Structure 1
């Protein structure tokens, strides 16, 4: 059997009431005639939405099938031992032409108890943002449970939310329990645990195409919310050209920003993890023993754990990509 190689997958496009058209204009995605494309699930093992390989001899195989067959060769031995055949992360692009609902995600313990699922800790990297566009992350004051309920019952929840004006390059880490929302005018990349458990707590009294108000989950959300307050919710990081610059590192994933204009040799012998690249701008090649894979703007590629050394070669003047693995 031929060896593993950098794997691309067919995106799963989702129509959303708040979606737009920048998947096509900014990322070069072809989602056909789908109106209001809000999400592109780039790499997913969520039940019912499992990604399928689009390149090479493994084309047509699902991500779950690959983990089952290749185990630690694909994901890394320590990751396979912990998660089994469940690929642990979900990668998305999100285009918000309107405000998303204000929501919160449960942690692992609560999600396991209620939904037999993992919780959802996630992060956002802002690719593009209209002038004045906002991100909600957390509260703007310390709150008690009763104070929160008072604002919620009186329809005044937005008054206690913290909003940041956002611009390209901003990073927000959203641990499970933190109330959050992407607001209109933002295009971003999202890295998260493999989970689709979301509690919607406020939706601006918005109605769907059939005139129905969307379901809220306030009873479930109450036990999931972290009511604590932070002075600053935006992640600070520094970028060094032509090397990986760490932005977020947690138990579930590490995400680096990689801006490069010259060839970079990568050695992941000590990591024991798959590597995922989300290409945000430019074009590059992954050169490995046995071949190369070209990665276009807007594409996401999974480098198997067994490819411990490879070379990244820019094919445009500069490349900007997210680099994700599990420590």
Structure 2
């Protein structure tokens, strides 16, 4: 019987392989899809290093007519504030992502256990927050008056630390993917719940934890609204909010001749590259976060629970 099963299993692999035409179609689709994601970014990079007059005259092009770094020179005139805001964003992203994953995993694990008596209540509790909220004003008052987090880094971390959606995703992974036999065996061997969670559940859950971590990292890095609401000076603003302020100022000056005349009369600089600097702002804002994806990517396709239960 074992030999027959081995033959059946060995013979089933060729039938599961897609045909050459199907493989070509799949590869073509993903190549085209990848190019559609990469080409716009390449265009942004090209425009950001193009001459301003050339861009205004000829429009956006993949090959610049004249190479010019005036947009980056204009941005880096305030390099001290940019680097400081980069440090704020990196600190908030790293600390926020780590704390967020701790909170999400610790909440999702108990409600995934069938022997937890209040699992349904706490599952409904977190699901309810996805449908209803207290509103913007109570949310603001809680962080400012009750928790006194205004103008602190914690005001950029705490509002995003808990995500009901990712709690439910993680809970589903714990419940459907991690074999209950493994947990029961560990419990029989004398392991407590905390040891089971740290030594067994977390290592087997790296795919979902890495995926949630990546999205939380993107959420923290791309956030500018919290800096707008809670930060009143430039000391603790994130780099995204700093770039947002720069873009708003550029757009205002570009569309307001009166303000431009007043700035010129006062001896200020107004002839800045307004078109190319917008693209340079995108590159400055998106650059570091691109390197976060390769760190998480290897966990997306790894099936760590395959073969965990031996019959």
After TM superposition, the score normalised by the length of structure 2 is 0.26
With CA pairs under 8 Å and 6+ residues apart, which has the higher RCO, 1 or 2? 2
Larger radius of gyration: 2
More helix by share: 2
After TM superposition, the score normalised by the length of structure 1 is 0.25
More strand by share: 1
